[in-house]
Amino acid sequence: MSRPDLARPARRSVKRPRNTSNGSAARSDVYRPLHYTDSTTQAMVTPPTERAVVVILEKAGLLLGREGVVDAYDRAASTEIANASLKDVRPDIVHQCLLALFDSELGWQRRLRVYISLFARSGRTIEVSPALRPPRTFRRFKGLVAALLRDGAVRSVDGTVLMRILPGSVAPVVPCGAPVVGLTNAVAAPVRTATQLAREALADPVDDNLQGGVKNVAGFFCISCTEEADLDGIDYVTQQACLSAYPTTAHVMCARICEGFTRAAKIIDSAASKSE
C-alpha cells in the first residue's frame, strides 16, 4: 500500500496550440488555393495573366493499404480490396492523367489547377500544385501517393507544398453556379472537339463574382479516372461532352483538352494580329 505523501502529483494538462504549418488545409470557410514559388529564388511567382484551367479527376482509385498504395493488379493487395471492385482501384489511370496534364503547354505555363477527388471512397480531395512535376515511373508515383495519404501533404526539397489533402468534396473548389463540363464516353453526350470547348470557355470565362471557389478561371472540366470514364453520380457537372466518336481513355481526354486550349489561344492571337 503506497503512502499518500509519496504519491506523484497529477500532471496538469496543457493545451498545445494546433500546428497549422503543414500542407493540410485549415478548416475554414474560405478556401485558399496553393501558391507556387520559384525554386531558385524562393520568391513567390506572380500567377499568369491568362485565366487558368481547372481539371477535376473524379473517382480516383487511390487507396492506402498495409504495403503501400493498393493496385488492382497486385496480388498482395487482394485483401485490401476484397470488398471493392477491381476496376475502381486504378492508381495507374491517375498517374497517366497527371503525366498528360503537366507535360502539356498549359502545365509548363502553370495555368493548370488539378484536383483529385477521393470523395466516393474516403470523403477527401487532393489538391495538386501547379509546380508539381509528376514522377516518370509508376513505382515512384505510388511512393509519392503513399506518403501523401499517410502524412496529408507532400513537400519538395525547398519546402514547397506539391500536394495536399483537403477535407470533404470539391465543393469549395467550384464556385456556386459555375458551369462544369464533364468529358465522358456516354452515348447521349454530344461529340465536341477540344478546341471548340476551349474557345467557348475563353470567350465566356467563369464569372469571378460567383460565391466561393477558385477565381480567374476560364473553365472547369471533370474527367473520371475509371476504365469506362463514366460520370455516374457526379452531380455538379452541368453539361457533358465527348471528345471523339469512339471510346477515349481518361489520359487522352486530359491531353486533348490541354491541346485544345493551346490551339484556341493561338487562333485568338492570330485573329487579333490580323485585325490590327
| CATH assignment at residue 221 | 3.40.1280.10
Q: Is 99 a member of any domain?
A: yes
Q: Is 102 a member of any domain?
A: yes
Q: Is 21 a member of any domain?
A: no
Q: Is 95 a member of any domain?
A: yes
Q: Is 47 a member of any domain?
A: no
Cα within 13 Å of Cα(101), Cβ side: 32
pTM given for the model: 0.81
Cell digits of residue 74: 497486385
Structural domain tally of the chain?
A: 1
Q: Is 126 a member of any domain?
A: yes
Asked whether 179 and 220 are in contact (CB, 8 A), the reply is yes
CA 210 to chain centre: 21
Residues 6+ apart with CB under 8 A from 154: 23, 144, 147, 148, 161, 162, 163, 164
Asked whether 181 and 221 are in contact (CB, 8 A), the reply is yes
Q: List 259's β-bridge partners, or say none.
A: none
Buried/exposed code over 4-25 (b: 16+ C-beta within 10 A; e: otherwise): eeeeeeeeeeeeeeeeeeebbb
Domain that holds residue 230: 52-271
Q: Is 111 a member of any domain?
A: yes
Q: Is 125 a member of any domain?
A: yes
What string of pLDDT tens digits covers the 276 residues of the chain?
Answer: 445 454 554 554 444 444 444 444 444 445 566 655 444 333 334 344 589 999 999 999 888 877 788 887 775 555 555 555 666 788 999 999 999 999 999 999 999 999 999 865 567 899 999 999 999 999 999 999 999 999 999 999 888 999 999 988 888 899 999 999 999 999 899 999 999 999 999 999 999 999 999 999 999 999 999 888 889 889 999 999 999 999 999 999 999 999 999 999 888 777 666 666
CA 49 to chain centre: 21
The candidate with the shortest Cα–Cα distance to 212, out of 254, 177, 175, is: 175
